[in-house]
Structure 1
Amino acid sequence: MSALPNVDASGTSVPPRAAEIFVGQALLSSSSAYSVKQFIGEGCYGQVARCLNRRTNREVAVKILKTDPNSGQDTENEVSILKVISVLNPDQCNIVRFFETFQHLIYKCLVFEMLEMDLYKLIHEVGYKPMFLCAIQPIAKQLLVALDALKSLGVVHTDIKPDNVMLVNGHEIRIKLIDFGLAALASQVQPGCRVQPIGYRAPEVSLGLPFTEAIDMWGVGCVLVFLYVADNFFSVTCEYQMMRRIVELLGQPEDRLLFAGLYTEKFFMQEEAAGGMTWRLMTEEEYSFVNNTEVKQDWSFFVPPNSLDGLVNMYPKEDAEHVDRLAFVDLVKRLLDLDGDQRISPSDALQQPFITRSHLCKQSDSRECRADAEELTDPSNKSLQRFQRFSKGIKKSFFCCWSPVVDL
């Protein structure tokens, strides 16, 4: 019996719908077949599915790209960037391993190694509890190694955020950087490109200044603070609120940067001063009028401090982490430098005390100091060995039992 044609309510024949991919289906490449077990993510690009590679009998993550006429170039861009970074050792450089790309029916598919959980989901799973610095430090170090490797190839990731940093498994603090769909060669980026998500966007991008791989370091700074306070540090829904918070915490970008920005007048207004024309941040009302848009308010339990130095005293002062917090905040300050040209590089950040742990035993030669240093730095210590899964979360001992207390 022949199949009935597709018809609409009036009985008119219509083109058949694109085939949907479903659980249990096999995606066929020239080298293997991938059985779809579960859909684990979705975005504007398409879906990510947990699949079983029938040839190797191992689970992989398959990124299934939508058949959007505007997504073809993005797909080719991601594949080209993945080819550029294929010279790197994905395990040593903490970058997701890419296996192959293939066409299945109308879908473009990219196959990656299967990882455990992204950092945003991790914080969500533990009830938005801040992470201790002994767990943040190895994450920071591995991220910096990844960015140092990308910088050596002239690649800008442009989308550093907690969602794109994933734990390799639930038994150790190993992470990998994922999602190169928006990555680009630094030699090809142009001022004015709107890259990076709001809340993780470097000032030079917001202002329309030339930018380099340094924008990824700004993203790392935002990710580390996210883990430290269990919330976004800057607004993730409103560009004005993000810029206002940057000015409140870090100060206003220098006039020379503001005069050069393509988008400066979106956030700032010129005023006459004794030394000539200068800039000031718009009020909410001025921003709304000039940009014909409303200022959005973020909903959050987190009340940020008045400066980055305030991060040091957000938790009890008399504990083993206090000295470590000083080194952590020093690193964050360098990562969140308003001037991308002055921002710390990955290689220099890898030599910073919070990463090297050199500061922990400088404070004292006492046995107590040495014990604190071992507890916070040794990846073979008992605490880190007990870093295991709990109800799809991570070991509770790596998260603070108290809430941040803002020292105003």
Structure 2
Amino acid sequence: MEMERVTELTMDRRPRKRMRLGWDVVPQPPKAQLGLFTGQEIGNLTSYAPSRAISDHPNSLFVKGLPRNGSPPVRDDDKDGHYMFEIGENLTSRYKIHSKMGEGTFGQVLECWDRERKEMVAIKIVRGIKKYRDAAMIEVEVLQQLGRHDKGGSRCVQIRNWFDYRNHICIVFEKLGPSLYDFLRKNNYRSFPIDLVREIGRQLLECVAFMHDLHLIHTDLKPENILLVSPEYIKVPEYKVSSRSPKDGSYYKRIPKSSAIKVIDFGSTTYDKQDQTYIVSTRHYRAPEVILGLGWSYPCDIWSVGCILVELCSGEALFQTHENLEHLAMMERVLGPLPQHMLKKADRHAEKYVRRGRLDWPEGATSRDSIKAVLKLPRLQNMIMQHVDHSAGDLINLLQGLLRYDPVERLSARDALRHPFFTRDHLRRY
């Protein structure tokens, strides 16, 4: 369910592609092609297409002249295999398209009204291309397995239904709020309070522990794939005025009303002991053993969790890089030297990053800017102390366990949940 931007007019200061959700989309003038309306454009839709009478209410949203449960005309997919649609059309007789929420390499996500359950849902419509269809069927299998075992609420997104419609696998999900990344971005990359980080971290580790117990590895944990259940937030005064403060003089930041989260996007999820030769996870959250080609397993999810917690505390990705050697050098700058036994075992693709038993840095750097980017990073302890007013000691200790280089020594999700950062009652402020 990972999404990339629909429309975006503001600059993203961070060097990576990020998903964009419908609530965050800037309205644009109407386009001639089908299927390019966003959620915010619905209110003006009548003026865009005067021949169509479209109401804003999901129960009565309909296209004039089309039977209430009628099928839309059959259209060709676009050149990339994306499903073409118009707002207000049916997606089978059960679902009516209300808005476009996002788009990614996999396809599109649409907000739809479920006539049967009388609720809004998010439907992931996968591109009509074999490799994406195959991946979608694997995701459906994983989601159904998670659902069968989820008795107490695992913090994994719930699959409602799935169907094959005009050569597109469609997966129906509960509708959730924005991703943690999008919330951070709308908040001008200002950090979350430490008590909120604690609650989110606890839920995230509960989800990971649940998946690992089922012998499943998510492999792509990142703030884009963690959604707040509710979009509601409050504004609180921002006492630490910084370069991130808005220029309009309103020194407030947003805090989610609820800390409840759900993990999404199980398209890369794999069973342990399956083929482990391919690269997993989005670059910024990728574990050192993956970069060095040493094979990977459950601990690669734990490394990602550590990176995510630092990002929630600081507002910025821990390792902002696009290149492997620079990435490993950043790790050494923040966490200390990589173990020699790991560097010696680097596979043929990664051995070029190692020279005489140590990382080939800064000699192997591609540019002076790359060296500067590494040098400006503080040590992990200093980074946390800059942003956390209480619980810093416990958090630093937890992160040192989540971000251990050797995957064998890294904390498990269950062990992490027993860490004092989560168990010290007197530190809880919620």
TM-score by length of structure 1 reads: 0.74
Structure 2 gaps of 5+ residues are: 1-74, 78-82, 233-256
- Residue in structure 1 matched with residue 44 of structure 2 by the alignment: none
Q: Which amino acid aligns with 1:93?
A: S
| SS of aligned partner of 2:350 | helix
- Is 1:20 the counterpart of 2:84? The answer is yes
Question: 2: distance between equivalents of 1:83 and 1:270?
Answer: 47
Within 1, Cα distance between the matches of 2:371 and 2:91?
A: 41
Match of 2:54 in 1: none
Matches within 5 A, 1:256-267: 256-263=341-348, 265-266=350-351
Residue 331 of structure 1 corresponds to which residue in structure 2?
398
CA distance in 2, matches of 1:167, 1:327: 25
The residue type paired with residue 127 of structure 2 is K
CA-atom RMSD in angstroms:
2.4
Q: Give the counterpart of 1:255 among 337, 340, 351.
A: 340
Q: Which residue of 2 aligns with 1:351?
A: 418
Distance 2:423 2:224 in 1: 26
Cα 1:157–1:342 change in 2 (3 A) is: same
**Residue 354 of structure 2 is aligned to residue 269 of structure 1:** yes
Which has the larger displacement, 140-149 or 228-237?
A: 228-237
Are 2:233 and 1:148 aligned? no
Secondary structure at the residue paired with 2:391?
A: helix
Is structure 2 residue 380 aligned with structure 1 residue 308? yes
| Counterpart pick for 1:175 among 261, 267, 272 | 261
Corresponding residue number in structure 1 for 2:359: 280
Is 1:185 aligned with 2:249? no
| 1:265-288 deviation line (CA, Å, top 9, x unaligned) | 3552332xxxxxx2332446x365
**Aligned letter for 2:355?**
Q
Partner SS, residue 285 of structure 2: coil
Q: Specify the SS of the correspondent of 1:60.
A: strand
Deviation at 1:89, TM superposition (A): 2.2
* Conserved 8 A contact 2:343-2:354: no
CA distance in 1, matches of 2:361, 2:377: 21
Following TM superposition, by how much is the alpha carbon of 1:132 offset from its aligned partner in structure 2, in angstroms? Answer: 1.1
**For 1:22, what is the secondary structure of its paired residue?**
coil
Kept in 1, the 8 Å contact 2:291–2:350? The answer is no
Q: Measure how far apart 1:143 and its partner are.
A: 0.4
Q: Determine if contact 2:314/2:384 at 8 Å carries over to the other structure.
A: no
Shift of residue 260 of structure 1?
2.0
Which of the residues 151, 159, 178 maps onto 1:117?
Answer: 178
**What SS class does the counterpart of residue 262 from structure 1 fall into?**
coil
Q: Answer whether contact 1:27 1:33 (CA < 8 A) is retained.
A: yes
Residues 1:296 and 1:45: Cα distance change in structure 2 (over 3 Å): farther
The structure, 1 or 2, with the larger RCO (C-alpha pairs under 8 Å, 6+ apart) is 1
Q: Tell me if structure 1 keeps the 8 A contact 2:100–2:109.
A: yes
Q: Provide the C-alpha distance between the structure 1 equivalents of 2:309 and 2:376, rounded to a whole number of angstroms.
A: 17
The aligned counterpart of 2:310 is 225
Per-residue Cα deviation, 1:348-368 (whole angstroms, up to 9, x for no partner): 00110111125x4xxxxxxxx
Matches of 2:118 and 2:371 in 1, distance apart?
45
**What is the aligned residue count?**
325
| Kept in 1: contact 2:159–2:172 (CA 8 A) | yes
- 2:102 match: 41
The 2-side partners of 1:136 and 1:299 are apart by 30
Distance change (3 Å), C-alpha of 1:324 and 1:179: same
Q: Do residues 53 (structure 1) and 114 (structure 2) align?
A: yes
Once the two structures are TM-superposed, the CA of residue 73 in structure 1 deviates from its matched residue by 2.3
Distance change in 2, residues 1:44/1:310 (3 Å): same
| CA distance in structure 2 between the partners assigned to 1:27 and 1:295 by the alignment | 53
| Cα distance in 2 for residues equivalent to 1:149 and 1:195 | 20
The whole-number CA distance in structure 2 between the counterparts of 1:155 and 1:253 is 27
Measured in 1, the distance between the counterparts of 2:384 and 2:306 equals 15
Q: Which runs of 5+ in 1 are unaligned?
A: 1-15, 272-277, 289-293, 316-320, 361-372, 379-408
Q: Do the aligned partners of 1:116 and 1:167 also contact (CA within 8 Å) in 2?
A: yes
Selected match of 1:341 from 408, 414, 426: 408
